[in-house]
Amino acid sequence: MTTRRPGEHARPLAVAVLAAGKGTRLALGDDAPPKVLLECLGVPLLEHVRRAVDHLRPDTVVVVTGHDAQRVESWLAASWPDALSVRQIPQEGTGQALRLALDAVPDFRGDVLVVYGDVPQVRGADLARLLETHRGAAAAATVLSGRAEDPGALGRVVRGAGGAFVEIVEARDAVSRPDVLALTEFNTGLYAFDADAVRPALKDLSRENAQGEEYATDAVNRIAASGRGVASVLAEDPGALLGVNSFDDLARAVAAVRRRIASEHMARGVHIVDPDTTVIEVDVEIAPGARILPFTHVGRGCRIGKGAAVGPFARLRGGAILEAGAEAGNFVEMKATVMGEGAKAKHLTYLGDATVGAQANIGCGTVTANYDGRRKHRTTIGARASIGSGTVLVAPVTVGEGARTGANAVVPSGRDVKPGETVVGVPARPLPNSEDGSRRRSKEREEKS
């Protein structure tokens, strides 16, 4: 979905991401992350914006930071290294933020797309449509607007005769203009500009308004007043383009992004029984035909193979991998663990830093004790091994292929269980003649019957 198709000569594109605001209604604690770094399905809000922006393959990206700038800058350095960042301290309005962004790229000429850093639901397609409209109309400015019965505190789009764009008026500046407040078309705050048109329009913006701030909307209004064309495009799902300003907004955004991720997996043939109670974070790979049962959480970077089943009430995290046909049932948590083909852990189990061989069976209540208080250690369970209910495997430890542990066994670290061996007890010891164990058990069964 790039805007530049092969052979097409497109104008240069810069994207300005406004991310300086504090999010005062979020009442975040002192060491809470700044708003744009709040998590949404395994990554910060800003990462969702980065992905949408990335679709456009812009030539330049400038992110305006301000509140908690240092933390946002270090995230940018690690996760969006080709973005420039500029600081806006203090934050005196969207107009000032946009001016600072453009001042950071003084030689840039072409199109400038403006997007906020706190809109995780924004999609590359929304941005592409805004840019296409802007370029198609050869406009000096293009506003992405939305419709709502009552747009509340949002800026209203005022139109004149024949629907021509006149101005955007902030709700707080329209208290004495009921006709304006009654308008249903609002400004989402996403725009496309011609850089040459917007630079002069951002100079000496007035602060004589209800918020005492420099308004980006005033730059749009100036362009319109100068007689240069202001185009607009109506967003299909404008609610999705509104910033996260409260925990309620955040929950709504997370729910929407979660539903979208689930839908993408279902469209590829993954059977998600109840997407409303299933959380699948970003960057999860699930093979078609896998089944995800209700109340399951699959963390970023996990991989689930063909025919595998997860849940109900399972939690996969830290890039856990289920190979084809593997199962993680109710109340199973897996962290940095690989379950081999057809291996099963069906109930009440913690598998951390473990490798489970193909067809192994992990009994109910098994725990890998992977943390000794200072470091994490690995557990390796061989193919076809059978781990008895309630076994504690104290890592680092290896259970060989086809080996067995008895119910409630505690296998101490370093006391590896040999292939085929059966161990029981606390600490676990090999059962005498354990290789004969299965023969003896079947004999016992015969005697009982």
Catalytic residue status for 347: yes
One of 13, 14, 19, 235 touching ligand UD1 (CB under 6 A): 19
Whole-number minimum distance, CB 168 to ligand UD1, in Å?
A: 6
Is there binding between residue 88 and ligand UD1 (CB under 6 A)? yes
Residue 168 in contact with ligand UD1, rule: CB under 6 A: yes
In this chain, which of 75, 215, 313, 331 binds ligand UD1, going by CB under 6 A? Answer: 215
Asked if residue 18 binds ligand UD1 (CB under 6 A), the reply is yes
User: Residues 387, 405: contact at Cβ < 8 Å?
Assistant: yes
| Residue (88 or 355) nearer to ligand UD1, CB | 88
| Of 86-94, 192-200, 269-277, 423-431: span binding ligand UD1 (CB under 6 A) | 86-94
Per CB under 6 A, does 16 bind ligand UD1? no
**Annotated catalytic residue, options 9, 134, 347, 377:** 347
Tell me which residues in 97-156 interact with ligand UD1 (CB under 6 A): 97, 116-118, 154-155
Specify the residue, 254 or 381, whose C-beta has the smaller distance to ligand UD1: 254
CB nearer to ligand UD1: pick between 43 and 205 = 205
Using CB under 6 A as the binding rule, whether residue 91 contacts ligand UD1 is answered as yes
370 makes contact with ligand UD1 (CB under 6 A): no
242 binds ligand UD1 (CB under 6 A): yes
* Residue number with CB closer to ligand UD1 (92 or 435): 92
By CB under 6 A, is residue 191 in contact with ligand UD1?
Answer: no
Active site residues: 347
Q: For binding to ligand UD1 (CB under 6 A), which residues are involved? A: 18-21, 64, 66, 88, 91-94, 96-97, 116-118, 154-155, 168, 170, 186-189, 215-217, 242-243
